[in-house]
Structure 1
Amino acid sequence: MTDTVRPPRTEAETPADRPGAEAEPSVDPVRWPDVARVPGGTVRAAIAARLVRRVARRLGLHVELPGGRALVAAAEGAPVLRLNRPGDFFRRVGAGGLIGFGESYQAGDWDSPDLTALLTLLATSPQTLVPERLQWLRRWHAQHPPKTEHGTPENARRNIQRHYDLSNDLFELFLDPTMTYSSAVFPTDADGRPVAGWDGLRDAQHRKIDRLLDLAGVGPGSRVLEIGTGWGELALRAATRGARVVSLTLSEEQLTLARRRVAAAGYADRVDIRLCDYRAADGEYDAVVSVEMVEAVGQPYWPVYFQTLDRVLAPGGRVALQAITMPHDRLVASARTYTWILKYIFPGGLLLSTEAIEQTAAAHTALRVRERHCYGAHYAETLRLWRERFTARLGEVAGLGFDQVFHRMWELYLAYSEAGFRTGYLNVQQVLLTRES
C-alpha cells in the first residue's frame, strides 16, 4: 500500500464521535509533509497494535479508544494514552517507530490528559519497550541521520538556525528574564529535592551560571571564551566579575539580542560576541566555558571539539562544561539512530555519556576530567516551568505565526525531555577539565 494523505473529516465524523478530535490540528502538507502523510502497511500496523497492548499491560498504562472504550484497562489513576484515530496511530508507529509516535501526536492521532506522566512511564525502561527477541530488527527498521544534518562546518550553522533562529519572541514567551535556555540549579529541601517555582527561576539560573564560573575560576582579569552564547546571560555574568569575554554563536537571532543586551548593560567593552563556529576559535584563554552546546556537535566531531578546548586554553587554565548526558550503553545502542528529537527539534546532535566525555578528552587531548556535579532533578523542574509557561501562552505562540502542529511538537518535546530527567534516564552535569600537570 502506498502512503496517503489523510482526507478531510466528513460531516458524519464529528468530535462527538471521536473524543479529542476537536483539538485536531490542520496539517500543512508543505510545511509538515511527514505529519500530513499517513503511511500504509497493514501488517506493520497490526504488529504495532500488538506491541502497544503488550507494553501497556506490562507498564500499567490505560489505552483508550474513541468513545471511551478501553483497549487496555489499567488501575485508576494510571497514565492514559487516548487514541483519537487508532488506525492512523498504529500505521505511523508501525512504519516509523518512535518517530511515527511523535508525528502521530503532532497530527492529533493521540492525546493524554497528563502527557508528562505518560511519557515518564514510557521512559522508565525505554530499552525494554521492544521485546528482546525483536530488537535485532532495529538494524533494518531504524533510520540513520541524513548526511545533510551531520555536524560539518557547512551544516552546523543550518542545524542551529533550525532551532535557535525560530524567533527570539518565541523564546521570550516561556524563558525567564535572563533568557537562559539550560538547566537551572534551585535551592533544595531537607531531602535534597529542588524547590522550584517560576518566581525563583531567575535566581536559580544565576546560581547555575555562578557555579560554572566558579568551577572555571573566572574572576577579575580572566580571559574567558564561551562556546555557545545563548542570549548572553553567562557572558554578562562573567563581565560583572571583571572578566573579558569572547563568546561564539552560530545563531543570528541570538547574536542580535545578546549584543543588544550586552550594550544595554554597559559591558560592550568587555564582551565580544561573534558569529563563529567553535572550530574557528582563536586566541588564548584562562577559562573556557560552554553550556549545553556539546550536545549539538555530533559524535564524529567530538574529537575536534575537545581539541579546540585544549588548543585555546592557556597554561594553567580551566574548562567548565555543562552537558546533558545519557547512560553509556544507551549511547552505544542509539548513536546512529535517527530520532524524532533529531528530526524535528535538534538536528545533528547527540547526547554524550560521562564515559564519552572522559574517553574523548583522554584520547585526543591533554585534558582530564577533575570534577563532576550532577543536577538531573533540577532540569526536570526547569523543563516543567518552561512547559507550563509555554502551554499557558499558546495564544501568543499562535500570534507569532506558529501553527498547531508546531504547538503540539513543542509540547511533546518539553514533556518528553522532562520525562527523561524525571526517570534518571537523562542527567545534566557540570564538568571541570584541566590539563595533566
Structure 2
Amino acid sequence: MTATAEPVGTTAVDAARWPDVARVPPSRVRGTVARAISLRAFARLPIRVRTPGGPLPSGGGPGTPVLELHRPDAFYRRLAAGGLIGFGESYMAGDWDAPDLVALLTAFGGGFADLVPRPLRPLRALALPTQPRAERNTRSGARSNIRRHYDLSNELFALFLDETMTYSAALFDGGPAADRADLAAAQHRKIDRLLDRTRVGPGTRLLEIGTGWGALAIRAAQRGARVDSVTLSREQCDLARARVAAAGAADRADVRVADYRELRGSYDAIASVEMVEAVGERYWPVYFTALDRLTAPGGRVGLQAITMDHARMRASRSAYTWMHKYVFPGGLIPSVRAIEEQVRARTALRVADRLRFGGDYAETLRLWRAAFDAGREQAAALGFDGVFHRMWSFYLAYSEAGFRSGLIDVEQIVLERA
C-alpha cells in the first residue's frame, strides 16, 4: 500500500511520489524566523492574508488579492527550509490557497525586490540550492530533462492546448481572447510572423530546432518549404510525424529525434521557438555556434525566447528553483543582452527584427490554465493525481503572473547572415 500524508481539502499527498510535499520540515525555530520575514513582506504588499485565527496585518485593502493560509505553521516551516521551492510545495500540499491565484502571484511579483529584507539579501546566494550536476544539459542530461516534461503524456498536453498543439506564446490581434478558437488563430499568427520574417516560402530549406507537436513544420511545408525538424522528445516526435502525415506534408517535412549539437548541413532559414531556455548557460556558446554553422549565406534565424532582466538573470543563473525541481529541469531564461552577446561573440549573424509580446503570453497562459482546470477529471483518468493538478495549475498561474508583473517577457528575434 502506498503511504499518504493527511489529505488537505480533496488532495491526498502520495508520500512515495511526492516525498518533499508530504513531509513538513521539522524546524520550528527556522519557521519562526520565516514567519517574521513573511509578516514584514505581507505588510508591504498589496494583498490580504487570512488564517484560521483571523486576518494578519498586510498592505492590501478591499479588492486586493487574498492569501488563504490554511496551515500557517507548515507554510512557514516549508518557506524556511526551501524558500520559493517551499512556497510552491506548500501550495501543492494545500497549506495555502488563493481565490485568484494569478492576481496574488502578480502582486508578489510586483514586490519581488522587497520580499527579503535588505540586510539579508547578500545571504540569498548562500542559502539558495544549486542545480544538480545530473540536470546539466549534456547530451544525456538534455534528453533526460526533456523527457521529464515533454514525455509526460501527449494526451495531457492535448487537454489544455488548442487544436494546433502549440506550446509557446500566441500572438493575438488586440484585446483578450474568448476561447480556444481564438487561441488557435493567434498561434497561427505567431507562426506565420516568424516564417514571414525568416522569408520561408517555396523551396526554402528550413531547419526547426525544437519540434513541439509539429504545427510550425506543417505550416512551413504548406508554404512549399522543405523542413527538417528535430526534438529530443520521443512522444513529441511520434505525434508530430502523425500530424505531418495527416496534413499531407510528409513528403516535405521530416521530423526526427536529434540533438542540435549533432546537426549538419546548410539551411536558408532556422526556426527555434522557446527552445533556448532549455539549453542552459553553459551550452549557449555551443547553441549559437550551431546556429551560425547551420545558416547559409543570406539566411535568417527566427528565435522566439522567453527573456528576463539581465541583472536578475545573473543573480539567479546558478539557483535551483521550484520550476527546475518540478517542471523544467536544467533550464535558464536568458536576457536579451545575453542573447545579443552570444550572437556577437559566436556568430556572423546580426539582429534584423524584434518583437516583444509578453502580454500575449499572459493571455495564452490564462487560456491554457482555464482549459487545464476544466480537464481535471480527464487528467486524473490519465493517472495524474490531485497534487500534480495543483502543481501544474501553480506553474501556469506562476508563469502568467511573471508576464503580467513584467518579471519576464517574450520576444521574437530575427537574425540575418550577410
Partner residue in 1 for 2:70:
84
Kept in 2, the 8 Å contact 1:64–1:72? The answer is no
Partner residue in 1 for 2:55:
70
Kept in 2, the 8 Å contact 1:6–1:37? The answer is no
In 2: Cα distance, 1:56 partner to 1:384 partner: 26
String of CA shifts for 1:92-133, please: whole Å, max 9, x gaps: 001110000000101111111110110000011322211111
SS in 1 for 2:33: helix
In 1: Cα distance, 2:151 partner to 2:6 partner: 33
Partner residue in 1 for 2:202:
220
Give me the TM-score of the superposition, normalised by structure 2: 0.97
String of CA shifts for 1:131-174, please: whole Å, max 9, x gaps: 11111111221000101101110100110010000000001010
Kindly report which structure 2 residues correspond to 1:351-366, keeping only aligned pairs within 5 A, or say none.
351-366=333-348
Partner residue in 2 for 1:422:
404
Instruction: Please state if 1:183 is matched with 2:164.
Output: no
Report the CA distance between 1:55 and its aligned residue: 1.1
Kindly report which structure 2 residues correspond to 1:2-401, keeping only aligned pairs within 5 A, or say none.
8=6, 21-23=8-10, 25-66=11-52, 69-73=54-58, 74-188=60-174, 193=175, 195=177, 197-401=179-383
Kept in 1, the 8 Å contact 2:4–2:12? The answer is no
In 1: Cα distance, 2:207 partner to 2:325 partner: 30
The one-letter amino acid paired with 1:71 is L
Farther off after superposition, 257-266 or 71-80:
71-80
Report the CA distance between 1:6 and its aligned residue: 9.0
Kept in 2, the 8 Å contact 1:6–1:38? The answer is no
String of CA shifts for 1:341-389, please: whole Å, max 9, x gaps: 0110000000011100000111122222222101100000000000011
Give me the TM-score of the superposition, normalised by structure 1: 0.93
Partner residue in 2 for 1:18:
none
SS in 2 for 1:336: coil
String of CA shifts for 1:194-213, please: whole Å, max 9, x gaps: 55543311111000000000
Kept in 2, the 8 Å contact 1:194–1:377? The answer is no
- Aligned length in residues: 415
Kept in 1, the 8 Å contact 2:4–2:15? The answer is no
SS in 2 for 1:225: strand
The one-letter amino acid paired with 1:252 is R
Q: In percent, how many aligned pairs have the same letter?
A: 59
Kept in 2, the 8 Å contact 1:219–1:241? The answer is yes
Farther off after superposition, 56-65 or 176-185:
56-65
Measured on the aligned residues, the alpha-carbon RMSD in Å equals 1.4
SS in 2 for 1:38: coil
Partner residue in 2 for 1:403:
385
Partner residue in 2 for 1:12:
none
SS in 2 for 1:22: coil
String of CA shifts for 1:218-254, please: whole Å, max 9, x gaps: 0100000000000000000000110000000000110
In 1: Cα distance, 2:9 partner to 2:342 partner: 50
In 1: Cα distance, 2:114 partner to 2:229 partner: 42
Partner residue in 2 for 1:13:
none
